[in-house]
Each structure stands twice: as structure tokens, then as C-alpha cells.
Amino acid sequence: MAIVTFWSNIKKETAQTLSIVAIATYMAVEHNSRILIIDTNFNNPTISNCFYDNKVAQNQVMVGMYGGRVDLGSGISGLTKLITSGKITPESITDYTKVIFKNRLELLTNVNPENEIEAEKIKNGFNELIKMAGHYYDYVFVDLHKGLDHNFIKQVLNDSDVIVANITQRMRDLEEFKALRASDPLFKSEKILPLIGRYDRFSKYTKKNVARFIGQRRELSAVPYNTLFFEAASEGTVREYFLKFRRDIMDSTDRNAAFINEIDRSASNIMAKIQEVQMRR
């Protein structure tokens, strides 16, 4: 059981959310693992929209699931209340999630907080919620707020088994990340795994060149730009995309093969990093 947090210090677009969606969905399809995605971002339906079209996603969130027994809009908010009351258990978390693949992939998201006080309570409850989920799921994938401007961000990063640091192929962003690694002990640790989002293999900033620049000895992980995947993310059909382009049935000459192979490599890198970090404990 492991906590894998996707995070970035880069305020610009890094495709962090789409990277976590791609890797988590791929692992749910290809591996016999139970995965939970926790979305810590308010006012951002990006992850939900990857699996449902916008109108359906909004309706699903507001109406709820399991015959109306659970209101998905109270997903993280409801669990935060359980934390406050001391009634939360690892098994209770699944009652507040949206099932993407039964017994494989679930999503825990949040409707907009009513006010700043509620938002602060939720943020302060994230750390315990994530650690609790780590006792129930094989992998907890956290889409974490960018930057380091809130204590809960630092707490989640410190408690994560692996931090997938999302970077770009822009030189200024790479310089910023390199400076962070030099100045903050956390980002010098073995649990840091850099990943390039929307990777362009035709750029002069190749994985090898970027790794050399930031001082990474191993080959970098990447989520390449892929037209059909990004269209699926905007149309709510990501799960259908990964079911259609499974490695064991896909023609190696298919234009999606390179994308799927890179996602597989990134997933393998994450699992290897988890084993490496846990063995050092």
C-alpha cells in the first residue's frame, strides 16, 4: 500500500492532472490493483470530466450513487466531518467515492466548499484522510495543489511514499525545479520521481537532456502528448480509451502504441520507486 503524490512547483500548465489520470487508469486496466485517486483541487472538475462528459459529470456528482445513498458532492467534505468526529475508518472511504472500474479504480473529489472556513477545514483534514486511505487501497494517487504555500501540502508531501514531480520542457521551469532540488532537502530525497507532462519527443529538451540538466541519473518518466487521449479527456471517455488500446490487443504499428508504451514505462518507474523507498525503511 503506497501513497503516490503528483505535485509541481511550476504554476504554469504541466499536465499534472492528465498525467495522474493516464497512469492511474492504465494501472487499473493492466494491473490487478485497487487504486484511489484523491483530487485536492477545489473548483476544478478536470478529473471528473475525464470519465464523464461535463453535463453528466455534474449530474452524477450532485445526485450521488449507490441508489442515492451517498451524495458525491459531500465526498471529501463528508469524510472531513467523519475525521472531525473520529468516526472515519479505512473501509468507510469507499462509500464516498465514485467508482470508475469496480474494485480497481475509484475517484474521491469535492464540490466547491461553501466558504473559506469549510475550505480550510477540508485542507486540514486531507493529510489524515490520505493516510487512512493508504491502509485500504493498494495505491493512493493524490493530485495535490501546486506550490508550497499551505502547510497541508508540505504534510502530504512528507507523508508520501513517492512524489511525482511534474515538470515541463521549458528551460525556465527546469531551472526553477533544479534550484528547488538544490535548496530543499525534501526534493533531494530518493522518493522524488520527475515526470515530464505533455512530452514532445521532437523537442531538443529530450528526456535524456532534461535528466542531465536537472541531475537525474535514471531515464525520466513522461506522459507524451497524444491527440486521441487528450480528446478522450475532454469528452469523458478516458476509460474507454485505455480499454480500446490495451497492450495485449493493440497492433504495435498503431499510432497510440508509443503513448501506451510510455505510460507503461512511467507506471513501472513509479512501482519500482515505491519498492525502492519502502525497502530503505
pLDDT tens per residue, range 214-241: 999 888 999 999 999 999 999 999 999 9
pLDDT value for 55: 53
> Residues of the chain whose pLDDT is less than 50?
56-73
Q: What are phi and psi of 67, to 5 degrees?
A: 70, 25
Rounded to 5°, angle at Cα 219 from 199 and 278: 110
pLDDT value for 179: 95
d(Cα 253, Cα 63) in Å, to the nearest integer? 43
pLDDT value for 80: 76
> Of all helices (H) and strands (E), which one includes residue 222?
strand 221-224
Please report which residue ranges of 64-216 form alpha helices under DSSP H: 75-85, 116-133, 151-159, 171-183, 207-214
Range of the domain at 205: 2-279
CATH number of the domain within which 231 lies: 3.40.50.300
Q: Residue 46 CA to chain centroid, in angstroms? A: 12
C-alpha cell at 159: 507523508
pLDDT value for 63: 36
Task: Note the pTM of the prediction, 2 decimals.
Answer: 0.90
Domain count, the chain: 1
pLDDT value for 54: 61
pLDDT value for 281: 75
Asked if 234 contacts 48 with a C-beta cutoff of 8 angstroms, the reply is: no
